Amino acid sequence: MAIDWNRRTCARKGHVTYAPDDPRLRIRLHAQTALGEVWRCLRCGDFVLGEPHGAGPAAEAPLVPRGKVLRDLFVLRFLALERAVRGVFIVLAAVAVWKFSNSKDAVRRLFDEYLDVFRPVFRHFHYDLDHSPVVGTIQKTFGYQHSTLLLVAALLLAYALIEIIEAVGLWYAKRWAEYLTVVATAAFLPLEIYELTEHVSALKIATLVLNILAVLYIAVAKRLFGLRGGRRAFDEERRSASLLEVEESAGALV
């Protein structure tokens, strides 16, 4: 079943209409009806009653993501949320380790409290904290020394920071974030596979599969590392997907 990303987005955010100065383009996007003037939405193509949301030269029209470009944005935002949740959880874990690294017993108590507090929340999202590799790793560190605990906290914090930077960048569809996600995620894949050889769990497999798919999807869809024509082809695809661009090329033939 195909999802109409254009209509879905318009239903949520409202239509985007624009009155280009060029009369040949204007006539293609505009019509008079018994109810008043209507303008064609740059995203879904429906005619919308009322004044246009903007006006000016066609080149200055908002670049409205449509179709495949829009779908890619949805996928990126899903990955961004997933990484943000993971990042926040790892920050909490890092704080727990660091704050009470002086006393292993206190760490254990605090960590268990954290777990008790967050267990129902994570369970609600079908995330089993008791079988989380991160939690398991931290529980192992209870047997370690003060300096080791500090190092673990620092490493966790660094990892969480990468996840959160990825999340913010992916949310805003920044190209650097796509590169960062692909490189950082790919770099951690061997560790995840090694983890699986130690102990197999559904969550670990799901995480590994999600991360492999994320790396492939972003690299191919966003044409990173010069794949499928690279940056130039990506910008071209984005522009050619905009409705005004389509209308403009059609208008040029008239």
Where along the sequence are the contacts to Zn ion (CB under 5 A)?
Answer: 10, 15, 41, 43-44
Structure tokens at 13: 């955010």
Tell me how far, at minimum, the Cβ of 57 lies from Zn ion, in Å: 22
For Zn ion, give the closer residue by CB, 41 or 107: 41
For Zn ion, give the closer residue by CB, 44 or 79: 44
Tell me how far, at minimum, the Cβ of 69 lies from Zn ion, in Å: 15
For Zn ion, give the closer residue by CB, 48 or 164: 48
For Zn ion, give the closer residue by CB, 45 or 133: 45
Dist CA 75 CA 253 (whole Å): 36
Tell me how far, at minimum, the Cβ of 170 lies from Zn ion, in Å: 25
Tell me how far, at minimum, the Cβ of 32 lies from Zn ion, in Å: 20
Q: How many CA atoms lie within 13 A of 91 on its CB side?
A: 12
Catalogue the E-assigned strands of the chain: 18-20, 30-33, 36-40, 47-49, 54-56
Residue 117, number of CB atoms within 10 A of its CB: 10
Side by side, the strands of the sheet bearing 36-40 are: 30-33, 36-40, 47-49
Beta bridge partners of 56: 20
